[in-house]
Amino acid sequence: MLHDAAAEPGTLSADELRAAYGDEIRRAVDAAGTEPAAEAAGVSEAALSNGVLDLTLEQAAAVLELADGNPDADAIIWEFRDHLLMGMTSGILDVDTLASEVDLDLSGQEIQQAIEGRTAATLNELAAIHHVIAVRNER
């Protein structure tokens, strides 16, 4: 799944973590086929082929669900969100500190809303957030 796409995300750069997310999605697309994966995500085949990091968590989970052995999309989403929240707790990291450390133009409130699923967040944004949390927990 996404939260464990990299064994030690805190030792990677944000771009390396993004690549690991992309690889995870591409494996699921390869296993399911581009057309069924695009249909599940509600995107065009071209969009799926050209920009998996532009998918939202919900779209990515719909694709990951298609791969054998993966739980349903809702479980993937909740597991990912739980992983981020638990990482914030372990790293004693609040959303305002996270906003100041992440390379995104998002406020603490916007990051909180993205993590909680109240606003859509792309895999690109979530990888950046995950990276900061993972690095904090490596300290």
Structural domain count of the chain: 1
* Residue span of the structural domain in which 102 resides: 9-138
Assigned domain for 64 exists: yes
Assigned domain for 107 exists: yes
Assigned domain for 1 exists: no
Task: Extract the tokens encoding 69.
Answer: 């052995």
Tens digits of residue pLDDT in 107-139: 999 999 999 999 999 999 999 999 999 999 987
Tell me if 81 sits within 8 A of 115, measured CB to CB: yes
How much is the pLDDT for 39? 96
Give me the amino acid identity at 53. L
Q: What predicted TM-score, i.e. pTM, was given to this entire model?
A: 0.92
Rounded CA-CA distance 56/39 in Å is 14
Assigned domain for 103 exists: yes
Assigned domain for 3 exists: no
Assigned domain for 4 exists: no
Tens digits of residue pLDDT in 66-94: 998 899 999 999 999 999 999 999 999 99
pLDDT at 35 over 80: yes
Tell me if 10 sits within 8 A of 134, measured CB to CB: yes
